[in-house]
Copies of this chain bind each other. A is one copy, B any other.
């Protein structure tokens, strides 16, 4: 999608306006744009942020568990962790209880980057919901949580 979005077109979106799926997609693309656009020196992608957040809340988590929680294949996780490790944000330690798996944790730098990114992420959320009042923003979050907690 990117920046080339629509301008003051007289184009009618018609039935799309009645579909939650369409609006979810639109809003999600905008939200990722705000997230990415708000990143300063650290340049964390939404996908990388998800990984960092899971490690923060589940110290020593395995790559497979992160993959399951994010709904991606564990083979896909390898390159993502590689990138975060190469940047010195994530550390792969051999698990003490299962010699097949890596115990993931954040370096001090990784923790700093995460905390900063979380702040920027909330700023991005605010941009995404700029058209909403505070109450409406809280309602939207609550409704989406309800939608997702069943998944």
Contact = CB atoms under 8 A, between A and B. Distances in A.
Interface of A: 1-2, 4-7, 9, 11-32, 34-35, 46, 50, 53-54, 56-58, 61, 65, 67-73, 118, 121-122, 124-125, 128-132, 136-137, 139-141, 143-151
Contact of A68 (B7, B22, B125, B151): B7
Contact of A23 (B1, B72, B130, B147): B147
The secondary-structure label for the interface of chain A is helix
A35 B9 CA distance: 27
B69 A11 contact: yes
A35 B21 contact: yes
A30 B131 contact: no
